Amino acid sequence: MIPSYVQRLSLSVLSLFVVQCWTTTTTPSAINDITLLPSDFVFNYAISCRGSFFCRFLYQPYAEAKIRLISHIKYVDEKPNIRHIVDGTEPFEDGSFELEGENRDQSTKFEPVLVIYHQCGQLKRKKDTFRRFIIKVPSIYVNSNETFDIGRLNLDVFYPGQKDGIKFELFTKPLKITGELFCASQPDAVKIVRLFSSPKQESENFISEETLEAESFHIDSRRAKLDEPILVISHQCDMPHDKIVKGIYRQFIIRIPFFYYNAGRLGLRDFNIGKLSLQLIYPGEVTRKLNDL
């Protein structure tokens, strides 16, 4: 029989801490494999930010900046690490940007900062480096379902704590595209997905191809340079037999949003096209043979 005061003590300890254990095959009882965390520790801190930039003149949007959302200011000067980068991008043509993501480092308190790299007003002899300043994201926006808006900033201004001559380390991953394609009337209909680096469906722009055996697909850009990538979906759902035997397909194109592939992207998030019924006729759909690549 466990004394009541021991039971109360046990409950108090459990209410204050979350025990996270990692078992190992070599030293299952090693104390180093146990980490105690406060009970209010949240594993999936979410944050979103937006804003826009101009350089010198209000009517001159600045789209050449590089923006990163880092989990804590102490990681800003370190070599880029996927655990510490929440999101990253470059602005759209109008100078605006949007960032969103979650904390990936469970060992550090989540205090996100926006890190802006730019060359507005920079001397030509420093063309290989950037100006950099940091904006701390107010804690009230973490897990709030509200977006932190920094407004529209003139990058010609020298901001507090700004530094010059900073190297920007490009840290990218391949663009990954996922989705599902189904044909209710002909589940075995041929479905082919192709990824091109530009709207021209030519061999020099071809990146990858996948013939679906089921409904879902996963395709990525590898290390290809992306100009205006497109996803070409070819299929034979609801097609007459005479056209099927001639190798003719129904085909439509999905353009990849700039948000997912611009030069500042990190590839942290897949572009998911959703679950599409191939019985529908999509805008711009054509009937043709597949291009030889």
Give the total number of structural domains in the chain: 2
Do 120 and 151 lie in one domain? The reply is: yes
Structural domain ending residue among the three candidates 166, 188, 211: 166
Q: Write out the two tokens for 165.
A: 């001559």
213 within domain boundaries: yes
Q: What angle do CA 51, 56, 61 make, to 5 degrees?
A: 45
pLDDT in tens, the chain (293 residues): 545 444 444 444 344 333 333 333 444 433 344 444 444 444 568 899 999 999 988 788 999 999 999 999 988 887 767 788 888 888 989 999 999 888 877 777 899 999 999 999 887 777 789 999 999 999 999 999 899 999 999 999 999 999 998 988 766 567 889 999 999 999 999 999 999 999 989 999 999 999 999 999 999 887 777 888 999 999 999 999 999 999 999 999 999 987 777 665 666 678 899 999 999 999 999 999 998 77
pLDDT of residue 30: 38
Whether pTM > 0.75 for this model: the answer is no
Q: Write out the two tokens for 199.
A: 């709207």
205 within domain boundaries: yes
Range of the domain at 184: 176-289
Contact 118, 155 (CB under 8 A): yes
pLDDT of residue 51: 97
Do 110 and 159 lie in one domain? The reply is: yes
DSSP conformational letter for 126: G
32 within domain boundaries: no
Structural domain ending residue among the three candidates 144, 166, 188: 166
pLDDT of residue 88: 87
CATH of the domain at 250: 2.60.40
84 within domain boundaries: yes
CA 65 – CA 57 distance, rounded (Å): 16
Do 118 and 180 lie in one domain? The reply is: no
Do 186 and 282 lie in one domain? The reply is: yes
pLDDT of residue 5: 44
4 within domain boundaries: no
Structural domain ending residue among the three candidates 111, 140, 166: 166
Contact 208, 220 (CB under 8 A): yes
CA 250 – CA 243 distance, rounded (Å): 10
CATH of the domain at 55: 2.60.40.3330
Do 282 and 184 lie in one domain? The reply is: yes
Inter-CA distances, 164 with 129, 197, 231, 243, Å: 8, 34, 40, 63
31 within domain boundaries: no
Do 203 and 269 lie in one domain? The reply is: yes
CA 272 – CA 254 distance, rounded (Å): 11
Do 205 and 234 lie in one domain? The reply is: yes
60 within domain boundaries: yes
pLDDT of residue 237: 97
CA 166 – CA 192 distance, rounded (Å): 45
CA 168 – CA 179 distance, rounded (Å): 33
19 within domain boundaries: no
Do 161 and 186 lie in one domain? The reply is: no
Question: Kind of pairing, strands 46-54 and 148-154?
Answer: parallel
